[in-house]
Amino acid sequence: MYGIFDKTFYVNMQDESTFAIDEETGDFNYISCTVESTLYLKMYIVVQFEDGTYAFDVFFLENRNYVFNSFFHEKEGKKIKKVCYMQIRNLENKKGFITFKQMRFLQFPEFPASPIYIESKKLIAGVDLRKGAALGFLSSKQYRVQEEEDGRGGKKAVFKRAVEFDFTQNMNFINTYDKGRLLQQSYYGTNKSPYQIGISLGNLWSYNPVQSGDRFNNLGRIIEYAITDKSLYLKVRPVDWAKNNYVTDSYMETHYHFEHGVFKVSNRFIDFSMLNHSRNGMGRQEMPAFHPVASLKNYMYPTSKNKYVVKPDLGFWGESGNYKNTLFCIESCWSGWFNDEQYGIALYTPFITQHHAGRYMANEPYDGPSSQAQPVNYLAGIKNFDIDCLQPIEYTYYISIGNIREIQADFKKIAPEENAFLREICDD
């Protein structure tokens, strides 16, 4: 382990400076330090391996005082001998400085290969890296939820009060057919040069950092994590959805935990790419992207006086001609997918009153559980704004499972004071 103590570097406008280190650290996979910075910076750390070859990894630093932790990923299965030098690129058009305190090069356990679960009295949630670097499992502990044949080649979800809980016997409410369907952050940015567009589903695809992974089955890169029995924190460097293993210059942070038994997700995203994402404020953002299982066939949301709107026949949300039919104004900011007995899963997006919902391949038969099938439901809170490089996007949402009236009671307990970013863009 090697430590740099109280080392300050001064950086000019949009400058790139190299600072020698040349210290033998021994093998490491993790960097930890306290940062005091007045600038947003891109940092390269170059290492030499025991076989004499070299590699570097890229890190991004914010203009604040905080503890920065990150895995060093570019090891290629080799052992590091020493840190050679550090290169710092100023991303801003102003002068400033950065101070590193107690920089340490450590061995730290990788994120577990086996699934990680957190739970409350009502819900259980999980992340499985084989499916993506985002939430891929969510189920009920109050209900024993299983799927039965619906007589049309698909499935229907059946809820029964749980006597003894065994989540291995319970339906997963999140579709995991591909990495784009996990419960996660996903944002849409530029399609203008110098960005090189990708292709997905035969369409030209703009900049689209996705937390879990890309359409080629590559994973988002985990930068940092923390796990307790009740919570999970992930910091990810996401990949660009339509490109093959293109790691974006951005960080996504997600904190999964519980509040009043409701599943609470707090998101943060910063784009360091310095691309021009301007679309005159009309960038359509999913907050979040959510794909519940197709065995819940009715889209529902509340109106006044405890009444509910039921939409059993929504079409594919991605068809341009069907967009207006699948976009809803939800004054209560929550809606969800339910069975015929009004049991299901719902999403509450404080300050976001537009929800986009729909079904894909809804009438196609399928085998196996709905969580692994191509037919799927969709639900997203929608806000129109452009990604602004170096400006954090932060928001929180909530999910509950059960009878629709139980869910409504759950959401009434929530006081969403923390969504300052959303309050600001809603005011605009």
Residue 36's CATH number: 2.60.120.260
CA separation for the pair 173, 370 (Å, rounded) = 8
CA separation for the pair 378, 282 (Å, rounded) = 21
Do residue 274 and residue 321 come from a single domain?
A: yes
Which of 75, 106, 137 is the C-terminal boundary of a domain?
106
In a domain, 36, yes or no: yes
Provide the pairing of β-strand 16-24 with 123-127: unpaired
Alpha carbon distance, N-terminus to C-terminus of the chain: 49
- Residue 309 bridge partners (DSSP): 301
| Beta-carbon count within 10 A of 257 CB | 16
What pLDDT, on a 0 to 100 scale, did the predictor assign at position 424? Answer: 65
313: which 2 tokens? 């026949």
Query: Structure pTM?
Result: 0.94
Do residue 318 and residue 357 come from a single domain?
A: yes
What pLDDT, on a 0 to 100 scale, did the predictor assign at position 426? Answer: 60
Which of 59, 85, 106 is the C-terminal boundary of a domain?
106
Which of 106, 140, 174 is the C-terminal boundary of a domain?
106
Match 């954090």 to its residue by tokens. Answer: 392
Q: In the chain, which residues have pLDDT < 70?
A: 1, 5, 418, 420-428
Do residue 122 and residue 99 come from a single domain?
A: no
In a domain, 242, yes or no: yes
Do residue 97 and residue 120 come from a single domain?
A: no
167: which 2 tokens? 């989540």
Do residue 143 and residue 264 come from a single domain?
A: yes
Do residue 95 and residue 136 come from a single domain?
A: no
Phi, psi of 240 (to 5 degrees): -85, 125
CA separation for the pair 285, 183 (Å, rounded) = 14
Phi, psi of 16 (to 5 degrees): -130, 115
Do residue 339 and residue 207 come from a single domain?
A: yes
Do residue 362 and residue 324 come from a single domain?
A: yes
What pLDDT, on a 0 to 100 scale, did the predictor assign at position 167? Answer: 78
CA separation for the pair 294, 360 (Å, rounded) = 8
In the chain, the amino acid numbered 148 is E
What pLDDT, on a 0 to 100 scale, did the predictor assign at position 72? Answer: 97
In a domain, 350, yes or no: yes
What pLDDT, on a 0 to 100 scale, did the predictor assign at position 1? Answer: 64
| Beta-carbon count within 10 A of 260 CB | 16
In a domain, 111, yes or no: no
Match 């950086």 to its residue by tokens. Answer: 11
What pLDDT, on a 0 to 100 scale, did the predictor assign at position 420? Answer: 64
In a domain, 399, yes or no: yes
Mapped onto helix, strand or coil, the DSSP state of residue 18 is: strand
Preceding amide of 194 cis, omega within 30 = yes
| Beta-carbon count within 10 A of 189 CB | 26
Do residue 222 and residue 328 come from a single domain?
A: yes
Do residue 32 and residue 124 come from a single domain?
A: no
Match 């093959």 to its residue by tokens. Answer: 244
Q: Which residues contact 309 (CB under 8 A, 6 or more apart)?
A: 300, 301, 302, 303
CA separation for the pair 407, 136 (Å, rounded) = 21
Mapped onto helix, strand or coil, the DSSP state of residue 173 is: coil
| Beta-carbon count within 10 A of 363 CB | 10
Provide the pairing of β-strand 123-127 with 116-119: antiparallel
In a domain, 79, yes or no: yes
300: which 2 tokens? 């529902």
Query: How many CA atoms are closer than 13 Å to the CA of 212, on its beta-carbon side?
Result: 25
Domains: count for the chain: 2
Our measurement of the distance from residue 216's CA atom to the centroid of its chain's CA atoms, rounded to an integer in Å, reads 18
Domain span holding position 75: 3-106
CATH classification of the domain holding 381: 2.70.98
CA separation for the pair 146, 177 (Å, rounded) = 18
What pLDDT, on a 0 to 100 scale, did the predictor assign at position 418? Answer: 67
CA separation for the pair 382, 206 (Å, rounded) = 18
In a domain, 73, yes or no: yes
Mapped onto helix, strand or coil, the DSSP state of residue 181 is: helix
The model's pLDDT over 124-173, given as tens digits with 9 standing for 90+, comes to 999 999 899 999 999 999 999 999 999 888 899 999 998 887 877 899 99
Do residue 221 and residue 352 come from a single domain?
A: yes
Match 């009295």 to its residue by tokens. Answer: 121
Do residue 100 and residue 127 come from a single domain?
A: no
Residue 338 CB burial class (10 angstroms; 0-12, 13-18, ≥19): buried
